[in-house]
Homo-oligomer: A and B are copies of this chain.
Amino acid sequence: MRYTTAGESHGPKLTAVIEGIPAGVTLSADVINAALSRRQQGYGRGNRMKIEHDQVEIVSGVRHQKTLGSPITLQVTNRDYAHWDDIMSPTAVATAENTVRQVTKPRPGHADLVGGQKYQQHDLRNVLERSSARETTMRVAVGSVCQQLLAAIDVEVLGFVQQLGGIQADPAKLPELGDLTTLRTVTEASDVRTYDEVAATKIRALIDATKKAGDTLGGVVEVVATNLPAGLGSFVSADTKLDAQLAQAIISINAFKGVEFGDGFGLAEHPGSEDMDEILYTPAQGFYRGSNHLGGFEGGMTNGEPVIVKGVMKPIPTLYKPLNSVDIATKQAYKANVERSDTTAVPAAAAVAEAMVAITLAKAVLAKFDADALPRLQAQVTAYRKELAAY
């Protein structure tokens, strides 16, 4: 399975094409739209998110809600494109009018300056239109397709907020991971998408105070995936390790600066004897682990325990508090301008991280099992799970 996204933030349309999804998967546009909506929510967002109300259009690869095995095209129309047609038109000739508003002031912490240098651009709009996190819209759409596939083999994926600003949810309050129903109910009911209501209250207060101060907040999102069979990914080569692929997937999200599995950086703090996941066995359950410090991976492979991935998102760099920067045309220093008004996007980013994990896991499933037709895939997965149980 592979996918591609395309589209500028204020261009006509965002597009994703997914190749290699098996035929026979039931695919609902409504489910995708619900995922898109989750990406647009969260306490601490500014106004633009409220205006947009993304709706997916499926224009290939699906017939009567069933995948065909051919490439699936998903599209989201940018609703305000009408206002931008002049400035962003792919086909209109450049004129004095439609190019008058050039962006020459690169924002610190964004791709603006380096993008201008790399692509030899002097109107930085030509960079920021694509480097915008607007792109993650299509990742969420692709992620939803992958989740609909994974659901067909009873694998679930859920992202939520573990920390926002300096405030952490209390891991002791995390519900038992089983089919994720409880956890999903709790976190989806929360406008800061976390499971610890005490922390949530503090987080809302922090967001309010930070907003008032004209500042921004980062945080840590956590993604959990359950019921994966042991043995996805491999130790045989560096690029076959599935946890490493997940790390790439998480860091590829705009503003993500770190990723960890299970206890992650905490593993540097204690002696090994405190961090080990012992191997246990019962005839009914087969092999399992007594704990999950390693976040569901051994040797780069799923080990049958829940996959636990965390990623850190830096605070949104666009600030009300202006920052020093330099105009690329005049080389004059200036105070960086503000383009939008979110205080934090961490709750939304949890939905994006969930999507990236789902995509990566779906790839791993389709690499190991039949990727042509869902019933055959399901039969193979069932046989494999039996085999594992009997090992």
Query: In the complex, are the beta carbons of B64 and A99 less than 8 A apart?
Result: yes
Q: Which residues does chain B contribute within 8 Å of A237, judged by CB atoms?
A: 4-5, 19, 71
Q: Is A299 an interface residue (CB 8 A)?
A: yes
With both beta carbons as reference points, the residue of chain B lying nearest to A2 in the complex is identified as B4
| Residue-wise interface mask of A (374-391) relative to B, using a CB-CB cutoff of 8 A (1 in contact, 0 not) | 111001100110011001
Complex contact A325–B279 (CB within 8 A): yes
Q: Is A231 an interface residue (CB 8 A)?
A: yes
Copies of this chain present = 4
The reply to whether B272 and A119 contact each other, CB–CB distance below 8 Å, is no
When the two chains form their complex, are residues A217 and B60 in contact, meaning their CB atoms are under 8 A apart? Answer: no
When distances are taken between beta carbons in the complex, the residues of chain B under 8 Å from A375 are 120
A59-B241 CB under 8 A given contacts A108-B277, A278-B108:
no
Which residues of B are found within 8 Å of A283, using beta-carbon distances? Answer: 331
B59 in contact with A7 (CB, 8 Å)? yes
Per-residue 0/1 for A221-265: is the Cβ within 8 Å of any B Cβ (1 yes, 0 no)?
000000000110011111101011111111111100111111111
**A11: CB under 8 A from chain B?**
yes
How far apart sit A14 and B333, CA to CA, in the bound complex (Å)?
47
Give the residue among A130, A295, A324, A356 with the most B Cβ atoms within 10 A. Answer: A130
Chain B residues with CB under 8 A of A46? none
Which of A219, A254, A276, A321: most chain B Cβ within 10 A? A276
**Segment of A109-117, A151-159, A170-178 in the binding face:** A109-117
The answer to whether the Cβ of A37 comes within 8 Å of any Cβ in the partner chain is no
B-facing residues in A279-315 (Cβ within 8 Å): 279-281, 283, 287, 289-290, 293-295, 298-304, 312-315
CA distance A293 to B304 in the complex (A): 37
The reply on A215 being an interface residue by CB < 8 A is yes
20 contacts between A and B (CB under 8 A): A4-B4, A6-B19, A11-B63, A13-B59, A15-B15, A58-B91, A64-B92, A114-B231, A117-B287, A234-B372, A238-B253, A239-B248, A243-B257, A244-B249, A247-B247, A251-B261, A257-B263, A258-B261, A268-B313, A293-B314
